[in-house]
Structure 1
């Protein structure tokens, strides 16, 4: 049964509709990540859940209770902002305990709760310090502790890592994931960073211009994107989008790539639709599905070998990204770190068609 339900939620500001009929549900203990480009409506949706921004229509339900018109203080939620919003004149201990004090919790119970949360977040040694004496990562942990100590029904995170440097983002991201695993809290998390979405979520909602593009697990979103927008937005480097055309020539249905009749690959096993001969399609392949021969999956049912000119080589340490170009079209491949490849050479790439998805260029939707 769903613990958090968003039902046909709409928000209009002036003549502009920001949210256009959002439907989402989340189980108790789930980690929902709202992801999308700037201006897609994810923060507006989070603020609506929090009660900071009343929706124009639709309902928000938490644990069976309709909270759409409830004051934020009555919803039993806790919000963690990207700005931390700590009280500078209070110690860490006082900041964490403040919400409990406002609720009238006695001092002994407050102290016990604060110590427990501090131990969970490994900030026991910071309790007597003030925010000005803390690093950015420590301040974020205190902000998390202040929310955690209340034991709310739902935690809301509004881009909590955006103010941190790259190394600290990775560390705090791991702490948030561990926090979820240890507490089984129900979390809604907003980010524009698709790596955060993939690593943290049990369920991802991809938004674009106030509309849900796809809802699914990280694996579903990554491997079976619903449309071209999701395919391009989720993943770094982005999914390769190769223009193709269905061909039944030779008695076997396949896809002609790069406008070259000699470059015909088998139809991906995931596509069961009987596509008309000559239909234009877009073949989507993640960079890791295009490799050198030594890295190709020996268990794959369908591997296409295609030679293309190497136009860029990007070593990353653990592997190397190689850009290939054939008949004016480019693609990015992920190869072994020690692969022998040179700029300008004709290199044999292995295309794992088991991992391919096919899109309709007119509707932009995935073809199953």
Structure 2
């Protein structure tokens, strides 16, 4: 049974519809990440769940209780903001304990709760400091502690890592994941960073212009994107989108890439239905599905080897990204770190068609 239910939520501001019929459900203890570009409606939806921005229509249900019209203070929700929102005149201990004090919790119980939360977040040594004496990562941990100490029904995170530098983002992201694993809290998390979404979520919702593009587990979103928008938005580097046409080859259907019948690949196993000859399609392949032959998984059932001109080589340490160009179209491959390749040469790329997905350029949807 769903613990959090978002039922046909719509929000209009003036004549502009920000949310256009959002339907999502989340099990108890789940980690839901709302992801999408700026202006897609993810923060508006989070504020609607919190009660800070009432929806124009639809319902929000928490643990079987309709909370759509409840005041934020009565929803038993804790929110962590990107700006930390700590009281500068209070110590860390006082900041964390403040919500309990407002609820009338006695001093001994407050101290015990703060001590437990501080231990969980490894900030026991910071309890007597004030926010001005803390780093950005420490302040974010305190903001998390202030939410955690209340033991709410739902935690809401509004881009909590956006003010941190790259190294701190990785560290605090790992702490949030560990916090969820240790507490089994129900979390709704907003970000525009697809790496955060992939690493943290048990369920991802991809939003675009106030509509849900796809809902699913991280692996499903990444490997089986529902449409071209999701395929392009999720993943870094982005999925390669190679134009082609359906052709018949040796009694089976194949794809002539870039409209060139001399560059054909077998129809990927993911496409189970017959397509009309000549139909335009887009072949989607993640960079790791295009590689050098030495890195290719020996278990691959369907593979094509295509020689293309190398236009860029980007070593990253653990591997190397190579940009290939064929018939005027470019693609990015992920190869071994020690692969011998240089700009200007022709290089044999291995296309792992087991991991390919095919899209209809007219509807933008995935073809199964």
Same fold (TM over 0.5): yes
Q: CA deviation at 1:259?
A: 2.1
Q: Deviations over 1:67-97 (max 9, x none)?
A: 0000000000000000000000000000000
1:167-246 superposed matches below 5 A: 167-246=167-246
State the distance in 1 between where 2:355 and 2:344 align: 27
d(CA) in 2 for partners of 1:348, 1:274: 30
What SS does structure 1 have at the residue aligned with 2:213? strand
> Matched residues in 1 for 2:250 and 2:268: separation?
17
Equivalenced residue count is: 368
Deviating 4+ runs (over 4 angstroms)? none
CA displacement, residues 216-262 of structure 1 (integer Å, 9 cap, x when unaligned): 00000000000000000000000000001000143221100022111
Say whether 1:2 aligns with 2:18. Answer: no
Q: Give CA-to-partner distance per residue, 1:4-53, whole Å, 9 cap, x none.
A: 00000000000000000000000000000000000000000000000000
Q: Which ranges in structure 2 are unaligned for 5 or more consecutive residues?
A: none
Cα distance in structure 2, aligned partners of 1:303 and 1:250: 16
Q: Determine the C-alpha separation between the residues in 1 that align with 2:56 and 2:260.
A: 52
1:241 is paired with a residue whose SS is strand
* Residue aligning to 2:347: 347
Structure 1 CA distance, aligned partners of 2:127 and 2:267? 61
Matches of 1:254 and 1:329, distance apart in 2: 19
> Structure 2 CA distance, aligned partners of 1:78 and 1:95?
14
1:283 aligns with 2:250: no
Instruction: Indicate the residue corresponding to 1:310 in structure 2.
Output: 310
Aligned-partner Cα distance in 1 for 2:16–2:260: 46
Q: Which residue of structure 2 lines up, in the alignment, with residue 29 of structure 1?
A: 29
Structure 1 residue 147: Cα displacement: 0.1
Q: Quick one: distance in 1 between partners of 2:245 and 2:217?
A: 31
Q: How does 1:322-333 map onto structure 2 within 5 Å?
A: 322-333=322-333
The answer to whether the 8 A contact 1:259-1:327 is kept is no
* TM-score, normalised with respect to structure 1: 1.00
Residue aligned with 1:300, SS: coil
Q: Is the 8 A contact 1:29 1:186 kept in 2?
A: yes
Please state whether the residue corresponding to 2:332 is helix, strand or coil. strand
Q: Residues 300-328 of structure 1: CA distance to partner in whole angstroms, max 9, x if unpaired? A: 00010000000000000000000000010
- Residue 125 (str. 1) matches residue 109 (str. 2): no
Over aligned residue pairs, what C-alpha RMSD do you find?
A: 0.4
In the aligned structure 2, how far is the partner of 1:217 from the partner of 1:251? 37
**Aligned-partner SS, 2:250:** helix
Alignment of 1:80-159 (within 5 A): 80-159=80-159
SS at match of 1:248: strand
Partner Cα distance (2:260, 2:48) in 1? 51
1:52 aligned residue:
52
Query: How many Å apart are 1:113 and its aligned residue?
Result: 0.2
Q: Which residue of 2 aligns with 1:19?
A: 19
Question: Match of 1:308, SS?
Answer: strand
Q: Distance in 2 between matches of 1:119 and 1:249?
A: 64
Partner SS, residue 188 of structure 2:
strand
Distance 2:353 2:6 in 1: 37
Asked whether the equivalents of residues 158 and 191 of structure 1 are also in contact (C-alpha less than 8 Å), the reply is: yes
The Cα offsets for residues 315-364 of structure 1, whole Å up to 9 and x where unpaired, read as 00000000000010100000000000011101000000000000000000
For the residue of structure 2 that corresponds to 1:115, the secondary structure is helix
* 1:73 alignment partner in structure 2: 73
State the distance in 2 between where 1:128 and 1:249 align: 73
Secondary structure in 2 aligned to 1:299? coil
Offset at residue 199 of structure 1 (A)? 0.1
Aligned residue for 1:41?
41
Taking the aligned partners of 1:321 and 1:147, their CA distance within structure 2 comes to 41
Q: TM-score, normalised by structure 2?
A: 1.00
